[in-house]
Amino acid sequence: MLRYTLKRLVSLAISLAVASVVIFLAIEVLPGDPAAYMLGVNAQEDTVAALREQLGLNGTMWERYSSWIGGLLTGDFGISYTYRTPVADMIADRMQVSLPLAIYALTLSTLIAFPAGILAASRRGSAADVSIMGITQLGVAIPNFWFAMLMVLIFAINLRWFSAGGFPGWDAGLYPALKSLTLPAISLALPQASILARIMRSSLLDTLSEDFIRTARAKGLTRAQALRRHALRNALIPVLTIIGLQFSFLLAGAIIIENVFFLPGLGRLIFQSISSRDLIVVESVVMLLVFAVVLVNFAVEITYALVDPRLRHRS
Amino acid sequence: MSDPRVSHIPPQAAPVRLWHLAFRSRNLVIGGALTLIFVAAALISFVWTPFDITQLDIANKIKSPSARNPLGTDHFGRDILSMIMVGARTSIAVAVVAVGIGMLFGVPLGLWAAARKGSLLDEVIMRANDLIFAFPALLIAIMITAALGPSAINAIAAIGIFNIPVFARITRSGALSLWQREFVMAARVSGKNAARISVEHILPNVTNLLIVQGTIQFSLGILAEAGLSYVGLGAQPPIPSWGRMLADSQTMISFAPHMALFPGLAILLTVLGLNLMGDGLRDLFDPKLRRSRQ
């Protein structure tokens, strides 16, 4: 297990290193001079030169890369060009919205998907199964930002149960803060729940057709008992993998939903920085999101190997 | 074994038999019909639309659906039905090219990795794939936009890059099992090299897999294009796009819900059609799977 973990860790480190190079090259090298890019076409030459100096763009590419990475490793993400505040503080600030939103959405999606998937699998072919599968088919096809707009129309504009957007901050209290995250979380959770319910169902059906379930039934367990005591736990392995993957996609996927609801999260920060040409912020936030995705995938692989020892010896 | 549905179907079903089965598959018929409607709408829009979408008609702005404009008009008085027809072009073009990019690079990489299974090359290709997976399409698009500015071309590139590992993976896994089969062994014995075997024997046998995955990636591409255009990273005005239409409608949703409703429905139905078609095709190509999924 230790060897497997070490191997995965090395692979994780390589992934992150390559990702950082890709991001660095894409943002710092491709567009030409970031300083001129930030200031726009009408900038004076000495202004551009001053900004270049201030941004530390005068060193070689290697020096710039290593100072960026060195900064990231020590928690110094640089200073935002437009806001004149440390990028790390801005990210920490925005995480207070994006992280709870992702957790909220993941919780909702799991709470919806588990019962739906189990019901569909245990009553395979019934009206309940057919309708659950039909709904999930719609859930996978619906663009989540459009679903979000429809919910704003129904629950915020017509029924006035929720506000149409914005975030009061955690200082305003737990209830108002959670309430303002509810519609965004539902919009994010719907497609995820649909995927998860389908996987839960097919995984359970696969497990239910295995020999040990037949043995359990032969011992006199009812179908429901066999499902609860034996099938569910075994069927959970692929489901947990998907949940892990979904969490990282929720963090990145929230970028669009945050725009629908005007939530001050990481997604809005990225868009604001793109439009204000604050490339340092874009670079660092993208790196952070990639880091989150890679890290969650790593955690999933390790957990998976812990649960299923066969995996450790494969490849 | 006793299942008549399976025993009737030979491993390589004759074309006539496949068509017959295709028309009996509900998923395939509904999905195919929905997809056909939107492809037809896109094609027809090249020669005819109910109204000219480049002409603004402020006197008729934000009209609810009527006999004149079946889906209403937008804030510039443009006919929404015509906009959706032209928007279908953008969605389909972006998704088709993005899937094309994914296949063009992904399939050869997957074939190559499978032919050299376990080698350093295989490892490098698969690790590079993992790396691309760490960048959701949206992040790739954001980076490209930050560097090169928003455009439909950049959206295509972003979705296309994201598709490469998807196709590489599916091709590799399909090819790996084929490499163990007798007919490949026979080809090796007859002196064919790995590249020739990959093209002549492996590729034709993973085509079904690629068609199914292509349909799914096509629908994901349409969703991604809509999302990117919605946040302003995709198609730029005046190119009509469903995502862009939704973004325009957002501030007017309280008094003109029809502006938000119809472009969204267009996306939903197209993606639904493609997904159903993908499911149908998968069942058609792999009857064993159909039995186990029922």
Neighboring chain B residues of A31 at a CB cutoff of 8 Å? 146-148
> What's the mean pLDDT in A194-216?
86
Distances (CA, A) of A201 to A7, A112, A140, A193: 33, 13, 15, 12
Q: Torsions phi, psi of B215, nearest 5?
A: -60, -45
Cβ–Cβ < 8 Å for A192, A117: no
Distance (Å) from the alpha carbon of B131 to chain A's nearest alpha carbon: 6
Please tell me if residue A9 touches chain B, with a CB cutoff of 8 Å: no
A142-169 pLDDT, tens digit each: 998 999 999 999 998 888 888 888 888 8
For residues B95 and B85, the answer to whether their CB atoms sit within 8 Å is no
Boundaries of every domain in chain B: 22-47+72-292
Nearest neighbour of A252 by CB, restricted to B136, B145, B147 = B136
HSE-CB at B142 with a 13 A cutoff on CA atoms is: 34
Report the chain A residue with the minimal C-alpha distance to residue B243: A146
Chain A positions in Cβ-Cβ contact with residue B243 (cut-off 8 Å): 143
- State pLDDT tens for residues B205-239: 888 889 888 998 999 899 988 988 888 888 888 88
pLDDT reported for residue B8: 45
Residue A297 sits at the chain B interface (C-beta within 8 Å):
yes
Give mean pLDDT, residues A93-113: 91
Classify the phi-psi angles of A210: left when phi > 0, otherwise alpha if psi is within -120 to 50, otherwise beta: beta
In sequence order, what are the residues at sequence separation of 6 or more whose Cβ sits closer than 8 angstroms to the Cβ of residue B253?
A149, A152, A153, A157, B259, B260
**For residues A297 and B134, is the Cβ–Cβ distance under 8 A?**
yes
Q: Which residue, B282, B283, B285, B277, is CA-closest to B33? A: B277
Question: Which tokens sit at B27?
Answer: 């998923």
Residues 6+ apart with CB under 8 A from A295: A12
Spatial distance between the Cα atoms of A274 and B173, rounded to a whole number of angstroms: 39
Confidence band (pLDDT; 50, 70, 90) for A268?
Answer: confident
Cα distance between residue A153 and residue A80, in whole Å: 36
pLDDT class of A203 with cuts at 50, 70, 90 = confident
- Nearest-10 Cα torsion for B88, B89, B94, B95: 50
Is the CB of B131 less than 8 angstroms away from the CB of A15? yes
Q: Which residues of A touch B226 (CB under 8 A)?
A: 143, 146
Residues of chain B with pLDDT under 50: 1-10, 290-294
The DSSP code sequence of B213-277 is: HHHHHHHHHHHHHHHHHHTTSSSPTTS--HHHHHHHHGGGTTT-HHHHHHHHHHHHHHHHHHHHH
The alpha carbon of residue B207 is apart from the nearest alpha carbon of chain A, in Å, by: 25
φ and ψ at residue B110, rounded to 5 degrees: -65, -45
Residue B289 pLDDT: 53
Residue A310: predicted pLDDT:
67
Domain A88-314: CATH superfamily is MetI-like (1.10.3720.10)
Both tokens of A89, joined, read: 């503080």
Residues of A in contact with B216 (CB under 8 A): none
What are the backbone dihedrals phi and psi of residue A262, each rounded to the nearest 5 degrees, phi first? 50, 45
Does residue A307 sit at the B interface (CB-CB below 8 Å)? no
Task: Please compute the mean of the pLDDT values over residues A36-54 and round it to a whole number.
Answer: 73
Strand, helix or coil for residue B179: coil
Selected for mutation to probe chain A from B34, B139, B144, B271 (highest A CB count within 10 Å) is B139
**pLDDT tier at A313 (50, 70, 90 boundaries)?**
low
> Distances from the Cα of A273 to the Cαs of A89, A90, A280, in angstroms?
15, 11, 8
Residues in A 54-83 with any Cβ partner in B closer than 8 A? none
Confidence of residue A225 (pLDDT cuts 50, 70, 90): confident
Which residues of chain B are within 8 Å of residue A137 when distances are taken between CB atoms?
272, 275-276
- Cβ–Cβ under 8 Å, residues A180 and A100: no
Confidence band (pLDDT; 50, 70, 90) for A115? very high
Distance from CA of A271 to the nearest CA of B (A): 8
Q: What is the distance between the alpha carbons of residues B82 and B59, in angstroms, rounded to a whole number?
A: 18
What is the pLDDT, as a whole number, of residue A29? Answer: 61
A184-203 average pLDDT score? 90
CB contact under 8 A, B219 and A286: no
Instruction: Answer whether A145 sits within 8 Å of B257, measured CB to CB.
Output: no
User: What would the pLDDT profile of A10-19 be if each residue is shown by its tens digit?
Assistant: 888 888 888 8
Q: Which of A11, A31, A252 sits opposite B138 (nearest CB)?
A: A252
Set of chain A residues whose Cβ sits within 8 Å of the Cβ of B139: 252, 286, 289-290
Q: Which of B147, B230, B254 sits opposite A157 (nearest CB)?
A: B254
Q: How far is residue A152's CA from residue A164's CA, in Å, rounded to a whole number?
A: 6
Is the pLDDT at A288 greater than 80? The verdict is yes
Q: What pLDDT, on a 0 to 100 scale, did the predictor assign at position B222?
A: 92
Q: A199, A185, A314: which is closest to A260 by C-alpha? A: A185
Distance of alpha carbon A302 from alpha carbon A307, whole angstroms: 9
Domain ranges of chain A: 9-73, 88-314
CA of A120 vs chain B CAs: smallest distance (Å): 12
Mean pLDDT to the nearest integer, A234-246: 78
Residues A289-308: tens digit of each pLDDT: 888 888 887 887 787 777 76
Is B280 buried (19+), middle (13-18) or exposed (0-12) by CB count in 10 A? buried
Picking from A204, A246, A186, A181, the residue whose alpha carbon sits closest to that of residue A116 is A204
Distances (CA, A) of A94 to A170, A265, B272: 12, 4, 34
Report the interhelical angle of B152-178 vs B120-133 (nearest 10°). 140
H/E/C letters for each residue in B118-153? CCHHHHHHHHHHHHHHCCCHHHHHHHHHHHHCCCHH
Name B252's Cβ contacts closer than 8 Å, sequence gap at least 6: B62, B75, B259, B260
Say if A145 is an interface residue toward chain B (CB within 8 Å). Answer: yes
Give, rounded to a whole angstrom, the gap between the first and last alpha carbons of chain B.
16
What confidence score (pLDDT) does residue B1 get?
38
Mean pLDDT score of chain A, rounded to an integer? 83
Q: How far does the CA of residue A49 sit from the closest CA of chain B (Å)?
A: 20
Report DSSP state, residue A309: T
Q: For residue B151, which phi and psi values (nearest 5 degrees)?
A: -165, 165
Which CATH number is B22-47+72-292 given?
1.10.3720.10
Query: pTM of this prediction?
Result: 0.84
Residues of chain B contacting A206 with CB distance shorter than 8 Å: 292
Q: Which residue has the tokens 């504009």?
A: A157
ipTM above 0.90, yes or no: no
Give the residue from chain A lying closest to B145, CA to CA. Answer: A274
Helix (H) or strand (E) holding B55: none
| pLDDT per position as a tens digit, A72-87 | 888 788 777 777 788 8
Q: What percent of chain A has pLDDT over 70?
A: 91
Chain A touched by B268 (CB under 8 Å): yes
DSSP classification of residue A168: -
Q: How far apart are CA B71 and CA B68, in angstroms?
A: 9
User: Which residue does chain A place closest to B216, by CA atoms?
Assistant: A141
- Of the pLDDT bands very low, low, confident and very high (cuts 50, 70, 90), residue A315 is very low
